[in-house]
C-alpha cells in the first residue's frame, strides 16, 4: 500500500476503467528486506564500485539485449507512475519515489479500504500464516497467494509449500488458495496442487524467458511447464487436474 492513498485510488479507478477483473494486493512489502545479494551484484543504489562495474561488464557482453531492450525498449520508465513522478527521467528516479511510498503502518483496516474501493475480486498475496488467511476471508477476499516474496524479504521465512497444507485446512472453501515460490517445473505445480493449491504463480521462470526471448520465450516456458504437468499426471495415473490430491504425495507412512 502506498502512502499516497489518493494515487492508490486513482490507480484502482484506472484499472477498473480498462477492464481489469481482479486486484492482486501484495502485503509482504511494507518495508524493503535486506537484499544483500542485490548489493553484491551491483543492483542496489549503494552497491560497491566493483559490483557496479561487474554489472556494467555483464551488460556490455550482451549487445543484442542492449539493442532490443536498453535502446529498442526505451524509454525505460514505470508507465503507470509517469504522472505521479512527472520529473523522473529514468528507473532510478522512479525508484526513489517508490521507496518513499512504502507504508509500514498498513493494517487490516487498510485492506478493508481496498475492499470498499474495488468492485471486483481481491487476491491477497504474501500470506504465510493460517490466521492471516482467515482474516483475508473475513474482509471478503476471494483468494490468497501463499508467498514469501521469493525468499527475498526475510531469510528465515518458511518455504511456501511447507505452510500450504495447514493454510488450506484453515480456510476450507471460504476462499481459493494459490501458491508461488520455487515453482520451476510442471512437476512443482502438481506437487502444490496435491497439497491443496488451486493454481500456482511463477516469477523467475517467465522473467528470465521474457528477458531472453520476449513474448515467444514466455510462451515456450508455459508450453514446457504444461507438458511437464501432463507427463507427471500420466505417471501418477490421473487424467484430470481435479483428481490431483494429497493421495498422490508419498507421505512416508
Q: Catalytic positions, please?
A: 149
Tell me whether strands 176-179 and 23-26 are parallel, antiparallel or unpaired: unpaired
Burial class (CB in 10 A: 0-12, 13-18, 19+), 79: exposed
Using alpha carbons only, give the angle 48, 58, 201 rounded to the nearest 5 degrees: 95
Cβ neighbours of residue 130 closer than 8 Å, sequence gap 6 or more: 163, 166, 167, 169, 170, 171
User: What's the CA gap between 68 and 90, in Å, rounded?
Assistant: 17
Contact 141, 123 (CB under 8 A): yes
Instruction: Provide the 10 A C-beta neighbour count for residue 19.
Output: 7
Does residue 109 have a cis bond before it (omega within 30 degrees)?
Answer: no
Amino acid at each position: 500500500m502506498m502512502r499516497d492513498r489518493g494515487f492508490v485510488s486513482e490507480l484502482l479507478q484506472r484499472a477498473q476503467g480498462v477492464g481489469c477483473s481482479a486486484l492482486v494486493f501484495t502485503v509482504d512489502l511494507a518495508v524493503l528486506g535486506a537484499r544483500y545479494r542485490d548489493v553484491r551484484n551491483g543492483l542496489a543504489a549503494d552497491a560497491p564500485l566493483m559490483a557496479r562495474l561487474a554489472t556494467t561488464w555483464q551488460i556490455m557482453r550482451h549487445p543484442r539485449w542492449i539493442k532490443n531492450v536498453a535502446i529498442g525498449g526505451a524509454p525505460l520508465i514505470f508507465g503507470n507512475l509517469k504522472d505521479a513522478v512527472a520529473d523522473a527521467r529514468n528507473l532510478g528516479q522512479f525508484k526513489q519515489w517508490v521507496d518513499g511510498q512504502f507504508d509500514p503502518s498498513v493494517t487490516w483496516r487498510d485492506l478493508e479500504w481496498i475492499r470498499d474501493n474495488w468492485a471486483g475480486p481481491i487476491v491477497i498475496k504474501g500470506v504465510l500464516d493460517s490466521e492471516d488467511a482467515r482474516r483475508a476471508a473475513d474482509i471478503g477476499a476471494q483468494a490468497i497467494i501463499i508467498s514469501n516474496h521469493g525468499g527475498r524479504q526475510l531469510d528465515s521465512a518458511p518455504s511456501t509449500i511447507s505452510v500450504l497444507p495447514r493454510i488450506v485446512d484453515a480456510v476450507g472453501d471460504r476462499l481459493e488458495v494459490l501458491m508461488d515460490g520455487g515453482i520451476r517445473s510442471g512437476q512443482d505445480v502438481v506437487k502444490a496442487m496435491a497439497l491443496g493449491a488451486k493454481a500456482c504463480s511463477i516469477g523467475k521462470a517467465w522473467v528470465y524467458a521474457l528477458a531472453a526471448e520476449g513474448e515467444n520465450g514466455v510462451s515456450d516456458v508455459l508450453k514446457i511447464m504444461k507438458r511437464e504437468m501432463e507427463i507427471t499426471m500420466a505417471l501418477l495415473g490421473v487424467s484430470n487436474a481435479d483428481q490431483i490430491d494429497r493421495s498422490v504425495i508419498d507421505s512416508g507412512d
